[in-house]
Structure 1
């Protein structure tokens, strides 16, 4: 082989090696893009799943809170009804009770006035 052929051979080897380095870099870039896309897809699916789970949990908590609020409201209403009943202020008879109490107050006022007049 001549000196010229040896130089051409070395240049061809260098070009092949440079091309292989370029292709390896390009392959590494392609692989990293594929991995990044795979991770993005996985994270996106997990985020969507997590969101759906959070919505479901929120609905459960909302239902529990609504149920407890309704239960508490019913308890308060029942207690108020019991107190009204014990005081004789049932809704059905409240006007009649007020009239009776008013009549008793009037009678007591009259009795006190008579006692005060006799002294």
Structure 2
């Protein structure tokens, strides 16, 4: 082999090596892009799952709160109704109760007037 053939062979070897280095770098870039996409998709899927789980938990808490609020509201309404009944302030007989009280007041006023007149 001549000196020029040896130089050409060495240049070809150097070009092949440089090309392989270039391809290795390109392959590394491609692999990192694929891994990044895979991680992004996994993260996106997990984030979506976590979000859905949080929504379900929120719905459950909202339902519990509504149930407890309704129970408390019903209990308060029942207590108010009981107090109104005990005080004679039922909505159904309020007018009747006012008439009864007015009649009693009139009777007491008349009794007081008779007592005052007899003295």
Query: Do Structure 1 and Structure 2 share a fold, with TM-score over 0.5?
Result: yes
Q: Output aligned runs, 1:31-42, within 5 Å.
A: 31-42=31-42
Structure 1 window deviating more from structure 2 (49-58 vs 88-97): it is 88-97
Q: CA deviation at 1:66?
A: 0.5
1:89 match: secondary structure? coil
Are 1:104 and 2:68 an aligned pair? no
Partner of 1:83: 83
Measured in 1, the distance between the counterparts of 2:92 and 2:11 equals: 111
Partner of 2:61: 61
Partner of 1:7: 7
Inter-CA distance 15–116: structure 2 relative to 1 (3 Å threshold): farther
Aligned Cα RMSD in Å?
A: 1.8
Partner of 1:71: 71
Measured in 1, the distance between the counterparts of 2:21 and 2:95 equals: 101
Structure 1 window deviating more from structure 2 (88-97 vs 38-47): it is 88-97
Measured in 1, the distance between the counterparts of 2:6 and 2:49 equals: 64
1:23-54 superposed Cα distances (whole Å, 9 cap, x missing partner): 00010011001101110110111111112111
Q: List alignment gaps of at least 5 residues for structure 1.
A: none
Partner of 1:49: 49
Q: CA deviation at 1:106?
A: 2.7
Measured in 1, the distance between the counterparts of 2:113 and 2:41 equals: 92
Give me the TM-score of the superposition, normalised by structure 1: 0.89
